[in-house]
Amino acid sequence: MTMKRKKLDVVIVGGGMIGLSLAIRLAQQNRRVMVLERHSQPELSEELALRVSALNDRSRSVLKDCGAWPLVQEHRSGPYQSMQVWDKDSPAHIEFSAKEINAEDLGAIVENNVVEHFLWQRAEQAGVEILQTQQWTMVHGGDESHPAEIEVGEWLLSADLIIGADGGRSKVRQYAELPISFWDYGQQGIVANIRTEQPHNGVARQVFLPTGPLALLPTPDSHTVSIVWSADEALARNLLNEPAERFAKQVETESGRVLGGCECVSDIKAFPLRMQYARQWYQHRIVLAGDAAHTIHPLAGQGANLGFGDVKALTEKLEGVDLSSLAQLHRSLSTYQRERKADTQLMIAAMETFKRGFGTANPVVKGLRALAFALPNKLTFLKRKLAEVALG
């Protein structure tokens, strides 16, 4: 069989939030871009989806640049004005509100598939070709005189740059043999939508339990929160085997009935939690972005925000660059890697501070922490960290 050849500037593997935003931003630089995505375009639904992300200002501005933010906002999003974080077994408690920094909100809760739906639409309008497939093979990683090559069915695609935005189990990363560091938290992230007796009033809440943090994120519906319960394996197994009513009761009890009675109004799903980050982000004509480069614990809700930071940095670094020149390309990719690795490491460090500050079972740490939190809840170190992490 003779192969049909197609020459592109950039091929992006993975059409999640990060891959699609990159595709649009690069198409806006007049690059010929193709996205390979396993799934079809996510459909909009009346029902609130299970996977949500709390997006900070930087992420929203990337979506604005893509022309997708107004569409998401018009369809459904839940801005939140304050945050409350507390420890179940001690007086430790922090509150932080947009007012304190003269901002309208601290961020917005969006459903991942709503964002993807509109990004997909905008990508097609921007001239990006999206091919629905997962049957592709990397033939050549590219070098000074050779573009990178991917075989898809009868097509041989060649491109000056291949971006792996194919999530935590990135096949692109494996092909390029980019080394990662990782550790397993031995926890599952359990997600569900919970209807609550009291309105959430636009407050993002998180309670640290000895078995892991439980987040209650305010959705666009004033009486529905999207929960992310990061639970140790044994507890996760029990929770997943519970009938929905008992599960909701546990959320109610463990959250100290902060929103009154709870009722589960969705499926209950679980995701294994693992921290991993690439020690090297590019090789030949291949580079990583989003979860393919880093997955972090959802306790600070920052995974997607880090990915949007990658989108912003990578598109800036590639602006005006002759992608066919490997020397030019590598200069850009090396600054991209340096910046984004530093940001990722800062985020990981901030999260470890949180985990140490809250949710420990050690009685000595608990005692000291209770003392620290008895001080006026003004500008404690944790509070500053909370603000930094929230605002991105």
Ligand X SMILES: Cc1cc2nc3c(=O)[nH]c(=O)nc-3n(C[C@H](O)[C@H](O)[C@H](O)COP(=O)(O)OP(=O)(O)OC[C@H]3O[C@@H](n4cnc5c(N)ncnc54)[C@H](O)[C@@H]3O)c2cc1C
Chain positions contacting ligand X, by CB under 6 A: 13-19, 36-39, 53-54, 112, 134, 165-167, 171, 189, 191, 228, 271, 290-291, 298, 301-305, 307
Residue 372 CB, shortest distance to ligand X, in Å, is: 27
Looking at the Cβ atoms of 36 and 236, the one nearer to ligand X is 36
Looking at the Cβ atoms of 111 and 369, the one nearer to ligand X is 111
Residue 169 CB, shortest distance to ligand X, in Å, is: 7
Residue 8 CB, shortest distance to ligand X, in Å, is: 16
Q: 3-class secondary structure for the chain? A: CCCEEEEEEEEEECCCHHHHHHHHHHHCCCCCEEEEECCCCCCCCCCCCCCEEEECHHHHHHHHHCCCHHHHHHHCCEEECEEEEEECCCCCEEEEEHHHHCCCCCEEEEEHHHHHHHHHHHHHHCCCEEEECCCEEEEECCCCCCCEEEEECCEEEEEEEEEECCCCCCHHHHHCCCCEEEEEEEEEEEEEEEEECCCCCCEEEEEEECCEEEEEEECCCCCEEEEEEEEEHHHHHHHHHCCHHHHHHHHHHHCCCCCCCEEECCCCEEEEEEEEEECCCEECCEEECHHHCEECCHHHCCHHHHHHHHHHHHHHHHCCCCCCCHHHHHHHHHHHHHHHHHHHHHHHHHHHHHHHHCCCCCHHHHHHHHHHHHCCCCCCHHHHHHHHHHHC
Looking at the Cβ atoms of 119 and 373, the one nearer to ligand X is 119
Looking at the Cβ atoms of 15 and 218, the one nearer to ligand X is 15
Looking at the Cβ atoms of 17 and 329, the one nearer to ligand X is 17
Residue 54 CB, shortest distance to ligand X, in Å, is: 4
Looking at the Cβ atoms of 37 and 160, the one nearer to ligand X is 37
Residue 79 CB, shortest distance to ligand X, in Å, is: 14
Looking at the Cβ atoms of 23 and 373, the one nearer to ligand X is 23
Residue 290 CB, shortest distance to ligand X, in Å, is: 2
Residue 115 CB, shortest distance to ligand X, in Å, is: 9
